[in-house]
């Protein structure tokens, strides 16, 4: 539900459930960032579950925490894409939170199926590090000529992406890689007009993103 394909087959991530209206007017009622707890329990990092507030941190430390939250979720997503289930999945949100906290306290571990190779296992384990400052992509904080971001340098260099790494990232960011699947390029408004209400719930829709 959160992984979409653009009309050229390029993967895009979005989360409409986390969208809130932010008003710049002090007299207009709105939801302020930080008032609500949003996110999916299976992908929540320990510091968020424990209630760490990034608004109290400034500058580099705040950026590190925000990047670290995404990297933890990315690790959970990579695990799920590799195994079919998120590493901390439980029957309830509370159960998922508890599994994450037990993991953070070294009371349980992540099970890796036998088909997960060494490089992929190391990538996931390097992302699901409890100490945010030690997660891969955060711990180096190196800026190089082909990486305009302060973080993620070591993530890009990981052995999992070993085949001509720089060329891979350049091609990826410039959308020059050929995706294995190309959706229909017909604009979604045209589809709606031509079908004139005949679309059923299970019909496939292609949105021009």
Cα(188)–Cα(203) distance, integer angstroms: 13
User: How large a percentage of the chain has pLDDT more than 90?
Assistant: 31
Higher pLDDT, 78 or 207: 78
Contact, 45 vs 100, CB < 8 A? yes
Whether pTM exceeds 0.85: no
Residue 2 reports pLDDT greater than 80: no
Task: Lowest mean pLDDT of 45-59, 66-80, 186-200, name the range.
Answer: 186-200
- Residue in 21, 122, 28, 32 with CA at minimum distance from that of residue 78: 122
Cα(57)–Cα(146) distance, integer angstroms: 29
User: What are residue 21's phi and psi, to 5 degrees?
Assistant: -85, 125
Residue 95 reports pLDDT greater than 90: yes
* Mean pLDDT along residues 140-146: 48
Which tens digits make up the pLDDT trace of 160-172?
887 666 677 788 8
Higher pLDDT, 62 or 70: 70
In this prediction, residue 177 carries a pLDDT of 84
Tokens of 196: 């004139």
pLDDT-based confidence at 149, cuts 50/70/90?
low
Is 103 strand, coil or helix? helix
**What's the chain's average pLDDT?**
76
Residue 20 reports pLDDT greater than 60: no
Residue 41 reports pLDDT greater than 60: yes
Cα(104)–Cα(44) distance, integer angstroms: 12
């Amino acid at each position: 539900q959160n992984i979409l394909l653009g009309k050229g087959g390029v993967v895009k991530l979005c989360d409409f459930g986390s969208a809130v209206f932010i008003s710049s007017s002090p007299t207009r009622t709105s939801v302020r960032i930080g008032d609500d707890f949003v996110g999916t329990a299976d992908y929540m990092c320990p510091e968020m579950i424990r209630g760490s507030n990034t608004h109290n941190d400034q500058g580099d430390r705040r950026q590190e925490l925000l990047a670290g939250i995404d990297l933890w979720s990315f690790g959970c997503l990579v695990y799920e894409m590799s195994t079919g289930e998120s590493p901390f999945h439980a029957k309830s949100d509370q159960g998922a939170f508890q599994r994450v906290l037990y993991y953070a306290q070294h009371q349980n571990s992540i099970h890796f199926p036998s088909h997960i190779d060494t490089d992929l296992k190391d990538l996931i384990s390097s992302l699901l590090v409890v100490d945010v400052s030690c997660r891969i992509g955060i711990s180096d904080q190196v800026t190089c000529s082909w990486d305009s971001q302060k973080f993620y340098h070591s993530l890009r260099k990981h052995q999992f992406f070993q085949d001509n790494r720089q060329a891979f990232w350049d091609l990826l960011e410039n959308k020059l890689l050929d995706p294995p699947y190309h959706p229909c390029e017909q604009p979604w408004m045209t589809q709606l007009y031509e079908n004139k209400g005949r679309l059923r719930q299970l019909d496939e829709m292609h949105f021009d993103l």
